[in-house]
């Protein structure tokens, strides 16, 4: 098997310090958590940004400041800024980080229930996001929360509405209201992606570690982090994103997978080498 790419989703848009005091809001806290995750073995940092009081924002300048600060400390790390933002944000708000020409960015592949909220991604929205990523030479990570999302984005790729091969998928399983986090569901999704594609699995909440183990065994990649789960184990809150990444590394070593560096991850994902 290829080496394992670990992504750390260090803060998300919804989780707060009330859920875990280590959730980062400020630029300094974001750098701290990115560095701890990287040092533990993460090749990719998935970036949401907050105002200093924790309010989620998609402000381009806030993304610039945070990503520049992370890049100063971790010059080789891959960053994937979110274009999902928080529920209720407009497509124009959500697209702001793509104006910074990142290597990668997320592209959400359909509307779905998100707990008590509705996460809206209409076809026109997805076409606009795909067009921007084609124009700005950004590699999408296709975020699939439902089984139908995969079929949708594959059809869009055939029509040239989003970037095509090689495609990187993130199967986000276990969100309340979306596809449950089971090995059967993950195996179905993985079986439908085009040859030459790569994939990551994200297990939300209590499914985080089951999905991490499945991803490792099945030859995929794994995302963990405070965005998805704040617990190291039942009743035991993680002290940092680094602790969550360390647990993935331990599982991988037990199961015979080596950990990819950022530059190795670029090669696996079919991305240009770092300049």
275 within some domain: no
193 within some domain: yes
92, containing H or E segment: helix 91-94
23 within some domain: yes
CA gap 228, 251 in Å, rounded: 18
Res 119: pLDDT? 94
CB-CB contact of 12 with 228 (8 Å):
yes
Q: Count of domains in the chain?
A: 1
CATH number at residue 222: 3.20.20.70
- How confident is the prediction for the chain on average, in pLDDT? 97
274 within some domain: no
90 within some domain: yes
pLDDT at residue 275 tops 80: no
CA gap 237, 14 in Å, rounded: 17
211-269 confidence digits (pLDDT tens): 999 999 999 999 999 999 999 998 999 999 999 999 999 999 999 999 999 999 999 99
61 within some domain: yes
CA gap 205, 29 in Å, rounded: 22
> What is the residue range of 214's domain?
6-268
273 within some domain: no
Residue 99 per-residue DSSP state: G
Angle at 254 between CA 253 and CA 257, to 5 degrees: 45
34 within some domain: yes
122-155 confidence digits (pLDDT tens): 999 999 999 999 999 999 999 999 999 999 999 9
């Amino acid at each position: 098997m290829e080496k394992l790419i670990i992504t750390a989703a260090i803060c998300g848009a919804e989780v707060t310090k009330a859920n875990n005091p280590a959730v980062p809001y400020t630029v300094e806290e974001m750098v701290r958590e990115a560095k701890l995750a990287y040092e533990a073995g993460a090749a990719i940092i998935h970036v949401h940004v907050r105002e200093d009081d924790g309010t989620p924002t998609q402000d381009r300048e806030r993304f610039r400041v945070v990503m520049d600060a992370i890049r100063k400390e971790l010059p080789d790390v891959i960053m994937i800024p979110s274009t999902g933002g928080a529920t209720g944000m407009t497509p124009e708000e959500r697209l702001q980080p793509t104006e910074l020409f990142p290597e990668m960015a997320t592209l959400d592949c359909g509307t779905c229930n998100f707990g008590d909220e509705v996460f809206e991604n209409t076809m026109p929205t997805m076409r606009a996001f795909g067009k921007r990523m084609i124009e700005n030479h950004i590699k999408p990570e296709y975020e699939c929360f439902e089984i139908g999302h995969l079929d949708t984005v594959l059809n869009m790729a055939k029509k040239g509405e989003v970037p095509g091969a090689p495609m990187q998928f993130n199967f986000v399983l276990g969100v309340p209201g979306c596809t449950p986090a089971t090995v059967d569901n993950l195996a179905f999704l993985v079986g439908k992606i085009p040859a030459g594609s790569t994939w990551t699995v994200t297990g939300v909440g209590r499914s985080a570690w089951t999905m991490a183990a499945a991803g490792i065994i099945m030859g995929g990649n794994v995302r963990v982090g405070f965005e998805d789960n704040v617990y190291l184990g039942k009743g035991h809150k993680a002290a940092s994103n680094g602790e969550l990444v360390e647990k993935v590394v331990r599982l991988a070593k037990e199961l015979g997978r080596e950990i990819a560096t950022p530059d190795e991850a670029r090669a696996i994902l079919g991305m240009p080498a770092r300049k």
